[in-house]
């Protein structure tokens, strides 16, 4: 069952769509093609909302944490906001120091998308055309983001086509806490990841171009490990050695295998909820919310603590346009960009 309503803030109408299927519920909005709620059952049958979100639409519209949003046209960071395409330098919007992050000053997360509801399939599709030159990107980009609630999974399909050569790396930026968004931190969540390599970052959290093994590092999740077990071992950009657990993980993991496959699972020991991620992308930005302390939260909380949730940003690699040995984000006319995400839930 789908309920479609409209709310307003500052004279702006926004669509909110709720998808129900038994005890499962997902709420999405066309403001940033964003996931705002996801209610799933736990070990004892009780449901909890497992995604973080801001308390009002106005705060969502100006949210620099990208809670639940579709981030693009190019998610993650591009050094100096520049890259070369067919011999010509492309200059992008600068919104983090001297660099480009998550689509620039006015990325996909800031727009109201067109809403298309499919009652029969329990799905909602959001669409928009990013015009040529938006945030400096070449070509008109026609993007569609579809959310389908199909228990025990939420499916997210991102597709895009362009009328000129460009780049695309469009991700979902939801934050998850399997104990419930209001249950504290995710440091006790146990994670297993099919990743044998990761891409290091420098003091600005920019990719260095290296690809390193996870062997004998705090980035080795090939064996199930609590998120908080090795935070004091991470050297993460300007945060330095994080003995205060101030930042934690915010890194791209190189995923083993190709095609649509299971790559990640997280388990909350307290509630028994388990999340299994499948994707067709080569990389996963795993961010554990180290900078969320004090960010306003939806009820019953007033604010989130640090490490209140983690992201699973399925992607190409950060700054791929500037590293020829990274997966190419190039999109030419006649091609279709796709990012397929399956979030399956279970209990243990």
> Binding site for beta-D-galactose: residue ranges?
76-77, 173-175, 250
Note the helical H segments in 202-322: none
Binding residues, by number, are 76-77, 173-175, 250
SS3 173: coil
Closest CA to 318 of 163, 160, 187, 211: 211
Residue whose structure tokens are 């299927």: 21
Q: Which residues are known to be catalytic?
A: 173, 313
Closest CA to 66 of 237, 285, 339: 285
- The token pair at 318 is 């950060």
Closest CA to 80 of 60, 95, 98, 67: 98
Mention every residue, 6+ apart, whose C-beta is less than 8 A from residue 230. 218
Closest CA to 122 of 260, 262, 28, 15: 28
């Amino acid at each position: 069952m789908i309920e479609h309503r409209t709310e307003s803030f500052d004279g702006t109408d926004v669509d909110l769509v709720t998808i129900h299927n038994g005890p499962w519920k997902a709420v999405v909005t066309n403001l940033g093609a964003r996931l705002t709620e996801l209610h799933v059952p736990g070990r004892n049958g009780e449901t909890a909302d497992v995604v973080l979100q801001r308390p009002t639409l106005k705060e969502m519209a100006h949210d620099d944490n990208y809670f639940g949003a579709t981030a693009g046209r190019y998610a993650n960071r591009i050094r100096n906001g520049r890259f070369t395409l067919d011999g010509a330098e492309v200059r992008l919007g600068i919104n983090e120091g001297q660099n480009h992050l998550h689509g620039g000053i006015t990325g996909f997360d800031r727009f109201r998308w067109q809403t298309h509801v499919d009652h029969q399939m329990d799905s909602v599709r959001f669409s928009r055309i990013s015009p040529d030159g938006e945030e400096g990107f070449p070509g008109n980009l026609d993007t569609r983001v579809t959310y389908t609630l199909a228990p025990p999974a939420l499916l997210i399909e991102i597709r895009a086509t362009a009328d000129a050569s460009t780049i695309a790396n469009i991700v979902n930026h939801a934050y998850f806490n399997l104990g419930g968004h209001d249950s504290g931190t995710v440091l006790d969540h146990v994670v297993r990841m099919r990743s044998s390599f990761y891409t290091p970052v420098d003091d600005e959290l920019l990719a260095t171009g290296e690809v390193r093994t996870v062997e004998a590092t705090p980035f080795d999740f090939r064996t199930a490990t609590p998120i908080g077990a090795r935070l004091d071992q991470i050297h993460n950009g300007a945060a330095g050695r994080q003995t205060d657990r101030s930042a934690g993980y915010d890194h791209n993991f190189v995923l083993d295998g190709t095609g649509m496959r299971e790559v990640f699972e997280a388990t909350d020991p307290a509630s028994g909820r388990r999340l299994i991620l499948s994707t067709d992308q080569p990389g996963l930005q795993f961010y554990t919310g180290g900078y969320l302390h004090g960010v306003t939260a939806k009820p019953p909380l007033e604010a989130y603590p640090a490490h209140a949730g983690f992201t699973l940003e399925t992607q190409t690699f950060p700054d791929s346009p500037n590293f020829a040995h990274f997966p190419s984000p190039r999109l030419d006319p006649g091609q279709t960009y796709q990012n397929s995400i399956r979030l399956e839930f279970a209990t243990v």
